[in-house]
Amino acid sequence: MAKSKGTRVRNAGSSASAANEMRMSIGSYLIDRLQAYGVRDIFGIPGDFVLQFYGMLEDSPIRVIGTTNEACAGYAADGYARINGIGAVCVTYCVGGLSLCNPIAGAYAEKSPVIVISGSPGMSERRSDPLLHHRVKDFNTQREVFEKITVRAVSLDDELTAFREIDRCLDACVRYKRPVFLELPRDKVLAVPDNDHHPQTEHPQSDTAALREAIEEARATIQAAKRPVIVAGIELHRFHLQSQVLKLAEQNNIPICATLLGKSVVSERHPLYLGVYEGAMGREEVRRYVEESDCIVLLGAFMSDINLGGFTAQLDPGKCIYATSEKLRIRHHHFHDVVFRDFMNAISEKKLGAKRPAPKISQPEIPAWKPSNATPVTMKRLFQKINSVLDQKLVVVSDTGDSLFAAADLSITQHTEFLSTAYYTSMGFAIPASVGVQVANRQLRPLVLVGDGAFQMTCMELSTTVRHNFNPIVVVLNNKGYSTERFIQEGPFNDILNWNYHRMPELLGAGWGFEVVTEGDLEKAFKAAFANQDSFSLLNVHLDKLDVSPALKRLAERLQTRA
């Protein structure tokens, strides 16, 4: 993690300071600070070790959203955090908390700021080491597991330090945009520390000389380049730096592409937008533009394999400016103590000297979609259809599998956001994350793209969708198993049971289901789904088990030609 030169500590100021004289309990201080950081809703399932805190949450303005299991709560909180800027989940000791490990590991990997709160046995109950229920090895096991997958994991077991620990945890969550973990022993929820405390936040500072030198070198490098290009990554979204990247591009006529995880960071209808850069998996003209560029400005991007097309991206570090919240490298020079926001503000501050004509960029046409009524649906035609409906105010939430690869070719407009786990790639993300999206903003309508395998992992979260009258459109890519894996190595382990996915509404007592075999069915189902504003719609789209997206085919072909 990048260290910053200095850190300014400030009193954050909140009702907590005013209420300090009245002395708050640890539980109420935590709830107060959650609200100060923008947490309006919290996901989870209660249990006896956390019931008292749940009671306090119910009495607070924070809305508790019950989910069907804790893993789903984790994905929902992650989806919520990606829209709201921060999310939270509250569960019981070990049986609840440890189910969160996979979603929270994903949130860590992809920098989604989620606060995890877990109840735990009271400190007084722990004397003489009893075998209390839910205990694994010793009373610290759960916290130690979370130390590996969060930026800060603490137990609020000491009144003297609890408030300070809460401040530090929440601060780390927003500063690093990564999950934090707070364990609250049940006999400390109402404990009232008797020391005075004023909430504090830390503000990392850049080393001014390092910042100046980095900016001089970056500006000179971009200015001298004939064909610079920007690769925009997900951190621009997480740190709210989209306007800075657009300013840098527009002032200097520099084309922009996005990584797969960063897709939708800038509107894909922007005149300077080239497309998703994902090595061999992406469109050939985008790959060539980036790899032939003499100055590649990677901003907030993860240099991961799937994100950049299975390690097929060929980027020469000698031609790259690579800036993230953790690293700043200009060609082979490494800079320390430069805060990403300061770098972005300074680099976009004023126009660079070079006169550069606007590049000629032609985006692929989005042809009007006309169904050939009796023709069976293919992946290619399905995604052409989806592309043609994206003008609406939608959030595309894509699960892992060919739904993700295919979605890379969708054209995301200003009105649409794109959420996926393109780096960690855990199946089961999309349906619970879509719940998180609508809890964060009821005006957004998720278009969920999910394989049949991933759907079977977390589809029960549609239950929460129904409880809250949410209205996502869920497209199940029913290719009868794990086609992405089939594509790599076929075997009976890739087969799954074919469910009547379109009959989920009968089970849940709400929603509309559509079975889609032909293009005619697809046309009718989408029309009805868009008209159905009041509940979820589910399209069970039958596909051939060997039919994969153009993006996945491109990857395979190019890997073969390079081998």
Ligand X SMILES: Cc1ncc(C[n+]2csc(CCOP(=O)(O)OP(=O)(O)O)c2C)c(N)n1
Our finding on whether 268 is near ligand X (CB under 6 A) is no
Q: Is 329 helix (H, G, I), strand (E, B) or coil?
A: strand
**Which of Mg ion, ligand X, none does residue 424 bind to, with CB < 5 to 8 Å depending on kind?**
none
Q: Please report how close the Cβ of residue 242 comes to ligand X at its closest, in angstroms.
A: 29
**Closest CB to Mg ion among residues 16, 430:** 430
Please tell me the count of residues contacting ligand X according to CB under 6 A.
18
**Is-contact 312 290, C-beta < 8 A?**
no
Question: Any contact of residue 97 with Mg ion (CB under 5 A)?
Answer: no
Amino acid identity, position 500 = N
Supply the minimum distance, in Å, between the C-beta of residue 71 and Mg ion. Answer: 20
191 binds, among ligand X, Mg ion, none (CB under 5 to 8 A by kind): none
Q: What's CA 1's distance to the chain center, in Å?
A: 20
425 makes contact, choosing from ligand X, Mg ion, none, with CB < 5 to 8 Å by partner type, with: ligand X
Backbone φ and ψ for 107, nearest 5 degrees, come out as -65, -35
Question: Partners of 11 in the beta sheet?
Answer: 200
Does 479 bind Mg ion (CB under 5 A)? Our answer is yes
Position among 452, 461, 519, 521 found at the interface with Mg ion (CB under 5 A) = 452
**The two three-digit tokens of residue 203, written as one number:** 């503000």
Contact stretch for ligand X (CB under 6 A) within 85-93, 132-140, 341-349, 479-487? 479-487
Residue 400 in the binding site for ligand X (CB under 6 A): yes
The answer to whether residue 453 forms part of the interface with Mg ion (CB under 5 A) is: yes
Stretch that binds ligand X, among 87-95, 297-305, 419-427, 435-443 (CB under 6 A): 419-427
Q: What is the DSSP letter of 63?
A: E
Task: Output the smallest distance, CB 125 to ligand X, in A.
Answer: 35
Distances in Å between the alpha carbon of 323 and those of 165, 297, 363? 30, 8, 27
Closest distance to ligand X from the beta carbon of 428 (Å): 6
Burial zone of 133 (CB within 10 Å; 0-12 exposed, 13-18 middle, 19+ buried): exposed
Told to check if 401 binds ligand X by CB under 6 A, we report yes
Mask 427-446, x = binds ligand X (CB under 6 A)?
xx------------------
Binds ligand X by CB under 6 A, chosen from 477, 504, 508, 522: 477
> Which residue is nearest to ligand X, using beta carbons?
451
Span interacting with ligand X, options 154-162, 207-215, 382-390, 452-460, rule CB under 6 A: 452-460
The upper half-sphere exposure of residue 106, i.e. CA atoms within 13 Å in the direction of its Cβ, equals 29
Please give the torsion angle defined by the CA atoms of residues 275, 281, 286 and 289, in that order, rounded to the nearest 10 degrees. Answer: 150
In the complex with ligand X, the residue whose CB is nearer, 77 or 404, is: 404
Is position 451 an interface residue for ligand X (rule: CB under 6 A)? yes
* 362 neighbors 377 (Cβ within 8 angstroms): no
Only one of the segments 20-28, 114-122, 477-485, 530-538 lies at the binding site for ligand X (rule: CB under 6 A); that segment is: 477-485
- Which residues on adjacent β-strands are paired with residue 321? 297, 330
Return the one option of Mg ion, ligand X, none that residue 402 interacts with (CB less than 5 to 8 A, by type).
Answer: ligand X
Residue 383 touches which of ligand X, Mg ion, none (CB < 5 to 8 A by kind)? none
Least spacing, CB of residue 493 vs Mg ion, in Å: 13
Whether 441 contacts 81, CB under 8 Å: no
Question: Residue 427's binding partner, choosing from ligand X, Mg ion, none, with beta-carbon cut-off 5 to 8 A by kind?
Answer: ligand X
Tokens matching residue 106: 């994903």
Shortest Å distance, C-beta 405 to ligand X: 8
- Distance between CA atoms of residues 532 and 344, nearest Å: 43
Nearer to Mg ion, 425 or 479 (CB): 479
x-or-dash pattern for ligand X, window 70-109, by CB under 6 A? ----------------------------------------
Stretch that binds ligand X, among 82-90, 332-340, 426-434, 506-514 (CB under 6 A): 426-434
- Name residue, tokens 């809305």: 63
Output the smallest distance, CB 231 to ligand X, in A. 24
Q: Give burial (CB, 10 Å; 0-12/13-18/19+) of 394.
A: buried
CB of 96 to ligand X, least distance (A): 19
Write out the E strands in 112-209: 114-120, 152-155, 180-185, 200-205
Cα 492 → chain centroid: 32
User: Checking DSSP bridges between strand 200-205 and strand 6-11, what pairing results, if any?
Assistant: antiparallel
Cα dihedral 456→458→462→465 (10° resolution): -160
Q: What is the bridge-based pairing of β-strands 295-299 and 228-232? A: parallel
Which DSSP string do the residues of 494-516 spell out, in sequence order? GB-----GGGHHHHHT--EEEEE
Return the closest-CA partner of residue 405 out of 479, 462, 512.
479
Residues in touch with Mg ion (CB under 5 A)? 451-453, 479, 483
Residues in touch with ligand X (CB under 6 A)? 400-403, 425-428, 451-454, 477, 479, 482-485
